[in-house]
DNA sequence: ACGCTACTGGCACTCGCTGCCATTTGGCAA
DNA sequence: TTGCCAAATGGCAGCGAGTGCCAGTAGCGT
């Protein structure tokens, strides 16, 4: 890794750290890009050479997540079914994010809930991930899944998880309890993969 | 309906018509709010008294859609199950939008596909609708559905439909054929409500 | 030590959007 | 009809995000 690359990585991290700090202290809307750049000791113009927009800074590892999910699909067991592959991919991604204790991850959840423009960005990334995962899933099971069916399956899966998380995160008590969250996610995936009646025969 | 209200409605429609026209002719990004306002013969400042943002103009009936879906839930049959209610709500909403032949609806689909900011807005509205529908569904079936399960169910349902539509709309041929679209939607709802294995035993 | 390339940061600019305010216009009652 | 109030309008000044341009700088390979 060359000196230039290291410098770039350091500047990038400095921008993220400065932004997280300022967002926590003064709020997202009350923090300008110029403030972030100044705190990271770079020019305002330089900020946009590292991130395409102010919100993008909150999702610095988005690509890695998708890559991890795609890889989880690629390395499937010989007799693993699509549903099982999706579950494993979900576990892989959520395990990677054991940085949930990190300031950035916690801040991000709050901002997704509270700031419309951040939520919009998160939803876009989710959609991109869906599309990519569905594409690879369809390619992996060519004679079981046509592209549209794969997209519907992945959409149901991620939609269920996202929907459950959304209402869960509105309740600070439930969101703070890992066991409750885990149970809700398990329930959501069951609903998506086996249907509601099968997942919860009566309640 | 007072004269003032009629005038307001006329101005609102003039703004929409002018915007659709300009968007079609010159593209979304190359059309400024000032251009739209000028074409509708109102001040730029007035535009924002009718729509909170440039994109919002593309979704003028968003509230009505949600209201229709909620009403479809409220007027459920005595022994209708949640899944059936959701299916009926979907049919109601998509039936209302037989204005699919309208210039606005067609333009909107294109812009959702092509312009990130428009797609973001659409996703936000979808999420709002999900939340509201899940809330009412949980309230309608209090002892069968807790809020989180309802959110997961609705998320899976809408996620499947959205996912299927997304890949479908990428293919102009398929998107242009109503029968194909209808079949894909039916398949998507089946996947979401009864699970993939049940909906497509083998392919 | 050399030139090449990538990186930087400042300036000017566009555009979406808001606060403010003076003016106009429709609604309503005396 | 007259007169008052509230709603609507539009213009202006301003903010912040994001971009094109360009001159200066710093790392990299020869």
Contact B130, B158 (CB under 8 A): yes
Say yes or no for a CB contact (<8 Å) between B163 and A134: yes
Confidence check: pLDDT of A101 > 80: no
Query: Can you give chain B as a three-state secondary structure string?
Result: CCHHHHHHHHHHHHHHHHHHHHHHHHCCCCCCHHHHHHHCCCCHHHHHHHCCCCHHHHCCCHHHHHHHHHHHHHCCCCCCCHHHHHHHHHHHHHHHCHHHHCHHHHHHHHHHHHCHHHHHHHHHHHHHHHHHHHHHHHHHCCCCCCHHHHHHHHHHHHHHHHHHHHHHHHCHHHHHCHHHHHHHHHHHHHHHHHCHHHHCCCC
Mutant choice from B129, B135, B141, B159 vs A, greatest count of A C-beta within 10 A: B159
Closest-approach nucleotide to residue B12, Cα vs C1': D8
Return residues 62-101 of B near A (CB < 8 Å). Answer: 81-83
Whether the predicted model's global pTM rises above the 0.75 cut: yes
User: Per-residue pLDDT for chain B (203 aa), expressed as one digit of tens each?
Assistant: 888 999 999 999 999 999 999 999 999 999 999 999 999 999 999 999 999 999 999 999 999 999 999 999 999 999 999 999 999 999 998 876 656 668 999 999 999 999 999 999 999 999 999 999 999 999 999 999 999 999 999 999 999 999 999 999 898 888 888 889 889 999 999 999 888 877 764 44
**Pairwise CA distance, residues A20 & A31, whole Å:** 10
Return residues 162-191 of B near A (CB < 8 Å). Answer: 162-164, 166-168, 184, 187-188, 191
Tell me which chain A residue has its CA closest to the CA of residue B194.
Answer: A195
Q: pLDDT digit string (tens) for B177-197? A: 888 988 999 999 999 988 887
* Length of chain A counted residue by residue: 203
């Amino acid at each position: 890794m060359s000196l230039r690359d290291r410098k770039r990585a350091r500047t990038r991290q400095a921008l993220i750290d400065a932004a997280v700090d300022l967002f926590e202290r003064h709020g997202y809307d009350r923090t300008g890009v110029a403030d972030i750049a100044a705190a990271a000791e770079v020019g305002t113009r330089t900020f946009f050479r590292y991130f395409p927009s102010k919100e993008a800074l909150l999702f610095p590892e988005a690509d890695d997540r998708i890559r991890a999910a795609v890889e989880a699909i690629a390395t499937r067991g010989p007799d693993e079914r699509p549903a099982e592959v999706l579950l494993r991919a979900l576990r892989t991604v959520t395990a990677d994010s054991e940085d949930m204790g990190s300031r950035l991850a916690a801040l991000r959840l709050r901002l997704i809930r509270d700031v419309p423009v951040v939520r919009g960005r998160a939803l876009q990334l989710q959609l991109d991930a869906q599309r990519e995962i569905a594409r690879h899933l369809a390619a992996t099971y060519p004679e079981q899944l046509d592209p549209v069916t794969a997209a519907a399956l992945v959409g149901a899966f991620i939609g269920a998880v996202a929907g459950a998380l959304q209402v869960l995160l509105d309740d600070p008590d439930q969101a703070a309890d890992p066991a409750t969250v885990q149970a809700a996610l398990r329930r959501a995936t069951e609903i998506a993969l086996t249907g509601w009646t099968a997942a919860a025969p009566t309640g």
